């Protein structure tokens, strides 16, 4: 049982939720390890992009292991430990892009994790659900907060209020995932996206993600000004010189992230 973590020479981190015997459901220990993995992605300058997936062929993740949390309920005081063990879908700011490779069940906390990623590929047998209302609670860690941002109103409300699942093709049709690919090509498709991202100027990529995400919470005038300031900063970097030089020389750029 683990959160597996590896980084390729291209600067692509791969996070694998490795608990297939429990459909990659996570107990408190797994969540702590996952938080540490996201912090490494955030802080390590050698990492340019991350992929998150689940072990095995049945499940991406079903989120929290309900049985473990029912037998060891958290003390109420933990409600105010808001900065402890932050996750991608719970307050942690990771501006490096994240690609999700959905290899099966994507339920509950798996869905809220998915909605905190940037690009998503799914196997044909993937299933997506926010079924918390069937358990007497709501979709936490951003489920109720992100659904309307990423799905049409009626579709998001159907998922939140009925708890019914949708299949991979439906998820693709509504834009929840970028594409559906054969299961044996899933990781290849995720790495193809990741390599395209990793080949670009890392500071510009992170800036583009932050600007786009923050645009949802800023008025247009402020957003345009923020964009102009960031572009001015980026224009002073070595990568901003390398890009045009490589284009003129008809060669691949060698971006350094500085």
Q: Which pTM does this prediction carry?
A: 0.92
For 152-162, what is each residue's pLDDT tens digit? 999 999 999 99
For 187-227, what is each residue's pLDDT tens digit? 999 999 999 999 999 999 999 999 999 999 999 999 999 99
Q: Are residues 186 and 218 in the same domain?
A: no
What does the pLDDT read at residue 80?
A: 76
Where residue 143 sits, what CATH number does that domain have? 3.90.226.10
Where residue 206 sits, what CATH number does that domain have? 1.10.12
Q: Are residues 177 and 212 in the same domain?
A: no
Q: Looking at 103-107, 139-143, 185-189, 206-210, which range is the least confident one?
A: 139-143
% of the chain surpassing 90 pLDDT:
78
254 in any annotated domain: no
Q: Are residues 42 and 140 in the same domain?
A: yes
Give the β-pairing of 127-129 and 49-54.
unpaired
- pLDDT band per the 50, 70, 90 thresholds, residue 85: confident
Q: Are residues 87 and 141 in the same domain?
A: yes
Q: How many domains does the chain have?
A: 2
Q: Are residues 178 and 209 in the same domain?
A: no
Q: Would you tell me how many other CB atoms lie within 10 Å of the CB of residue 210?
A: 14
- Choose the final residue of a domain: 183, 198, 213: 198
What does the pLDDT read at residue 28?
A: 85
What does the pLDDT read at residue 72?
A: 63
Q: Are residues 161 and 210 in the same domain?
A: no
Tell me the residue range of the domain where 115 lies.
Answer: 2-198
Q: Are residues 181 and 59 in the same domain?
A: yes
- Choose the final residue of a domain: 198, 213, 229: 198
């Amino acid at each position: 049982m683990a959160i597996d973590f590896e980084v390729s020479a291209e600067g692509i981190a791969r996070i694998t939720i490795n608990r297939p015997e429990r459909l990659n459901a996570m107990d408190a220990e797994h969540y702590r390890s996952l938080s540490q993995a996201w912090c490494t992605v955030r802080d390590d300058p050698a990492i340019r992009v991350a992929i998150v997936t689940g072990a095995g062929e049945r499940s991406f993740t079903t989120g929290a292991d309900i049985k473990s949390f029912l037998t060891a309920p958290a003390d109420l005081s933990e409600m105010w430990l808001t900065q402890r063990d932050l996750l991608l879908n719970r307050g942690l700011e990771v501006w490096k892009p994240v690609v999700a490779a959905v290899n099966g069940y994507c339920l509950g906390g798996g869905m809220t994790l998915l909605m905190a990623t940037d690009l998503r590929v799914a196997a044909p047998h993937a299933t997506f659900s926010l079924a918390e209302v069937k358990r007497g609670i709501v979709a936490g860690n951003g489920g109720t907060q992100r659904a309307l941002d990423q799905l049409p109103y009626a579709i998001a409300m159907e998922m939140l209020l009925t708890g019914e699942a949708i299949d991979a093709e439906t998820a693709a049709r509504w834009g929840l995932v970028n594409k559906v690919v054969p299961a044996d090509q899933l990781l290849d498709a995720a790495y193809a996206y990741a390599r395209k991202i990793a080949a670009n100027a890392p500071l510009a990529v992170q800036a583009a993600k932050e600007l786009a995400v923050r645009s949802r919470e800023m008025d247009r005038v402020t957003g345009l000004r923020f964009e102009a300031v960031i572009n001015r900063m980026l224009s002073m970097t070595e990568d901003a010189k390398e890009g045009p030089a490589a284009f003129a020389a008809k060669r691949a750029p060698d971006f350094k992230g500085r």
